């Protein structure tokens, strides 16, 4: 026995040993030369992972919600029209944040398990001038994957800022920020980036920075204001000491460690690994007579899976059986249906062995609870799919 359980939720995830070791080193000064080098290198590595050589990176102590808050606070002013494209819980959260800053929001919500069509989005963009639109790349509550590229193209066509919530996608799904002309791509450290919770990470395009500089009113959030943070980012990247608020020193050391691991693997290769494992896992889930929440596999994220409980199984009992087998999964999050499904995270340093452990525990739990299936079926399908695709 390892003495701990396998954490397979959609964040925090299982972290690389080198990342955890970086968290444990003696904390240095935030203006020490060695830390300035780490911070500056982290900013540069972010551009590689985001595929945004022209972007302005921000690393700030906080959560993914803070990154969303920073985008809204700096780019939105009172009475600005903003279009929110929602595929779950976190689309609605972005709507709430935007309204807090006085935006006139219009929310386009997809039916559960679906995405908003491009035709619907374009029709709305034609109806009036929108300053910005938001896209949830992968909604952690539903496991729905949205293709940001054509939406970003529509945003450009209608002179609208595009803001991508990449909390559950950056470093796990295909993102080409500069090529797709996405203005903001934001995330949090504890997902596919592979660092314990505590960092809000954001990349802003040249256009987004220009919109911020030309705003008519002060940013109504002191901590989130880029006026305070931009000089810090520039100083660290130029390897100079600077101060606004004390950075999360050990988390940033861990961030550099993880970004180096990501770049050594190669971002394209890393994304393909996520895709291959997710396809095999979905095939295994289907073989167990289980249904995923997305209406089609084309809409299913590669960083997590949302799976409906069998109708004859008590979800709480299933989760308890999984914990007994030393595997932790997440329950549902979408309020309307939260008791009907569970979620499995498969991002970051996730391996085939991790997902085989999940499937083994899941099979045993289902059998014990009376769900009809052939023992070993899911594991066999998972293995065969991986072998076929590689």
Residues 6+ apart with CB under 8 A from 338: 331, 332
What's the CA gap between 135 and 86, in Å, rounded? 7
pLDDT interval class at 5 (50, 70, 90) = very high
Residues 6+ apart with CB under 8 A from 249: 27, 28, 29, 30, 35
Mean pLDDT of 45-67: 98
Q: What is the CA radius of gyration of the chain?
A: 21
Instruction: Give every strand in the sheet of 104-109, ordered side by side.
Output: 56-61, 199-204, 184-188, 161-165, 132-136, 81-86, 104-109
Mean pLDDT of 129-138: 98
Residues 354-372: tens digit of each pLDDT? 999 999 999 999 999 999 9
Mean pLDDT of 236-259: 97
Provide, rounded to the nearest whole percent, the portion of the chain with pLDDT above 70.
99
- Report which of 168, 165, 198, 127 is spatially closest to residue 348, judged by C-alpha positions: 168
- Report which of 47, 69, 88 is spatially closest to residue 170, judged by C-alpha positions: 47
What's the CA gap between 59 and 256, in Å, rounded? 11
Q: What is the mean pLDDT of the chain?
A: 97
pLDDT interval class at 279 (50, 70, 90) = very high
- 3-state SS, residue 366: helix
| pLDDT at residue 389 in the model | 80
Q: Is the peptide bond before 12 cis (omega within 30 degrees of 0)?
A: yes
What's the CA gap between 201 and 68, in Å, rounded? 10
Q: Strands 138-139 and 144-145: what pairing? A: antiparallel
Mean pLDDT of 200-229: 98
What's the CA gap between 70 and 227, in Å, rounded? 11
What domains are there in the chain, each with its CATH number? 6-11+266-389 (3.90.1150.10), 17-265 (3.40.640.10)
Mean pLDDT of 238-262: 97
Residues 64-115: tens digit of each pLDDT? 999 999 999 999 999 999 999 999 999 999 999 999 999 999 999 999 999 9
The tokens for 109 are 């919500």
| pLDDT at residue 289 in the model | 94
Mean pLDDT of 53-59: 98
Residues 296-305: tens digit of each pLDDT? 999 999 999 9
pLDDT interval class at 1 (50, 70, 90) = very low
Residues 328-357: tens digit of each pLDDT? 999 999 999 999 999 999 999 999 999 999
What's the CA gap between 43 and 203, in Å, rounded? 10
pLDDT at 2 exceeding the cut of 80? no
| pLDDT at residue 390 in the model | 74
């Amino acid at each position: 026995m390892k003495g701990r359980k396998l954490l397979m939720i959609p964040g925090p995830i299982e972290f690389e040993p080198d990342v955890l070791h970086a968290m444990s080193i003696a904390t240095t000064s935030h203006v020490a030369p060695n830390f300035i080098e780490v911070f500056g290198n982290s900013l540069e590595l972010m551009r590689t992972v985001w595929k945004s050589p022209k972007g302005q990176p921000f690393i700030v102590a906080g959560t993914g919600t803070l990154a969303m808050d920073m985008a809204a606070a700096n780019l939105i002013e009172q009475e600005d029209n903003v279009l929110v494209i929602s595929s779950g819980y976190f689309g609605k959260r972005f709507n709430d944040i935007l309204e807090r800053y006085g935006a006139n929001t219009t929310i386009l919500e997809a039916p559960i398990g679906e995405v908003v069509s491009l035709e619907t989005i374009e029709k709305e963009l034609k109806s009036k001038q929108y300053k910005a639109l938001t896209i949830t790349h992968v909604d952690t509550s539903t496991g729905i994957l949205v293709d940001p590229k054509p939406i970003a193209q529509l945003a450009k066509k209608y002179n609208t800022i595009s803001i991508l919530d990449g909390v559950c996608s950056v470093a796990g799904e295909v993102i080409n920020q500069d090529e797709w002309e996405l203005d903001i791509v934001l995330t949090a450290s504890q997902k596919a980036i592979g660092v314990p919770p505590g960092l809000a990470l954001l990349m802003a395009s040249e256009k987004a920075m220009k919109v911020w500089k030309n705003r008519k009113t002060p940013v109504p959030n002191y901590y989130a204001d880029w006026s305070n943070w931009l000089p810090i980012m520039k100083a660290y990247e130029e390897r100079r000491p600077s101060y606004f608020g004390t950075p999360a020193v050990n988390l940033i050391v861990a961030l550099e460690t993880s970004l180096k691991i990501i770049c050594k693997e190669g971002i394209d290769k890393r994304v393909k690994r996520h895709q291959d494992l997710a396809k095999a896992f979905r095939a295994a889930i289907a073989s167990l007579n289980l249904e995923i929440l997305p209406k089609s596999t084309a809409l299913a994220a590669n960083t997590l899976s949302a799976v409906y409980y069998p109708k004859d199984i008590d979800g709480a009992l299933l989760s308890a059986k999984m914990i007994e087998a030393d595997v932790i999964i997440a329950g549902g999050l979408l309020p309307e249906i939260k008791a009907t499904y569970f979620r499995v995270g498969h991002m970051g340093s996730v391996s085939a062995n991790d997902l085989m452990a999940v499937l083994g525990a899941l099979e045993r739990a289902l059998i014990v609870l009376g769900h009809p299936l052939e023992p070993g079926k899911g594991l066999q399908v998972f293995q065969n799919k991986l072998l076929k695709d590689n």
